[in-house]
Structure 1
Amino acid sequence: MSFRLAAYAVCIEGERVLLARHVGPTGESTWTLPGGGVEHGEDPFDTVIREVAEETGCDAVAERLLGVDSRVIPAAEARAGVVHHNVGVFYRVRVTGGRLRPEPNGETAEPVWTSIAGVAHLRRSSLVDVGLALARAVPATGHVAPVPVGGLVQH
């Protein structure tokens, strides 16, 4: 089983959310939240701000911890073909400056503000649905019940 600890930014302004188009190694494209893996010795709080800057070109501040999502992805659905455990730490983040741009030499090809209502029609990572559910509910425990994912969703 593989394992990944990551931090994700839920940036909402009005009725829009900041998403990033991730391009995989074979050229497939999926919309996701800005964020990524926590480096060895790094605090997830610092990770989320670093990842927003790297992937979108924007400066940001983390306003609050929204919650933690822990999910096991079966081998048949996982990219590498082995069971994968992902623990995602989600933060409510506010953009304070900078300018949207693609990630230099990275996998994020296009960061955009998109309508929250339009998210349902995108080929997206399940992380988007989890992040939006946490932002809506802001559960006191920081844990959201399993979020139904379907349609155009990818792990």
Structure 2
Amino acid sequence: MSFRLAAYAVCIERGRVLLARHVASQGEPTWTLPGGGVEHGEDPFDAVTRELREETGLEGAVERLLGVDSRMIPAAAARAGVDHQNVGIFYRVRIIGGLLRAETDGATIDPTWTPLGQVSGLRRSSLVDTGMSLAQTVPPTGHVPPTPYGGLIQH
């Protein structure tokens, strides 16, 4: 089994959410939240703003911890072909500067402010729905039910 610890930025402003497309080595790109793997020895609090800057060119300030999501991706659907656990830490992040641009030499393209009403029609990672649910409900436990997969919602 493989494991990944990641930090994700939920940036919602003026009825829009900041998304970017992730281009995997195989398959169609999916829309996702800015964020990614926490490096060895790195604090997830620092990782989320580093990933935001790398993937979108924007500077952010963490406003609050929204919650933690742990999901299992079965081997048949995982990129490496083995069962995979992803633990995602979601933060509400406010944009404080920078210029919106694509990641250089990375797997994330097209950072875009997307109207909230258009998100449900996008082919997207379940991370988007989980992050938006946490941002909208702000549960005291920091946990929401797992996002179901299928249709437009991908692992």
Specify the TM-score bucket, using the shorter chain as the normaliser: over 0.9
Inter-partner Cα distance in structure 1 for 2:46 and 2:75: 31
Post-superposition shift, 1:52? Answer: 0.3
Post-superposition shift, 1:146? Answer: 2.2
Match of 1:95 in 2: 95
SS at 1:80's partner residue?
A: coil
Answering whether residue 31 of structure 2 is matched by residue 45 of structure 1, we say no
Match of 2:132 in 1: 132
Name the CA shift for 1:26/1:74 in 2 (closer, same or farther; >3 Å): closer
Unaligned runs of 5+ in 1: none
- The question of whether the paired residues in 2 share the 8 Å contact of 1:129 and 1:149 is answered with no
**Aligned-residue CA RMSD (Å):** 1.1
- The question of whether the paired residues in 2 share the 8 Å contact of 1:133 and 1:147 is answered with no
Inter-partner Cα distance in structure 2 for 1:146 and 1:92: 19
Inter-partner Cα distance in structure 2 for 1:52 and 1:107: 13
SS at 1:127's partner residue?
A: helix
Inter-partner Cα distance in structure 2 for 1:27 and 1:74: 17
Match of 2:20 in 1: 20
- The question of whether the paired residues in 1 share the 8 Å contact of 2:68 and 2:87 is answered with yes
Post-superposition shift, 1:14? Answer: 2.0
> What is the TM-score normalised by the length of structure 2?
0.96
Post-superposition shift, 1:27? Answer: 6.3
Name the CA shift for 1:148/1:25 in 2 (closer, same or farther; >3 Å): closer
Aligned length: 155
Q: How much identity, in percent, do the aligned residues show?
A: 70
Post-superposition shift, 1:148? Answer: 3.2
Unaligned runs of 5+ in 2: none
Answering whether residue 128 of structure 2 is matched by residue 148 of structure 1, we say no
Answering whether residue 36 of structure 2 is matched by residue 71 of structure 1, we say no
Post-superposition shift, 1:149? Answer: 3.9
Match of 2:56 in 1: 56
SS at 1:148's partner residue?
A: coil
Post-superposition shift, 1:72? Answer: 0.7
Name the CA shift for 1:26/1:145 in 2 (closer, same or farther; >3 Å): closer
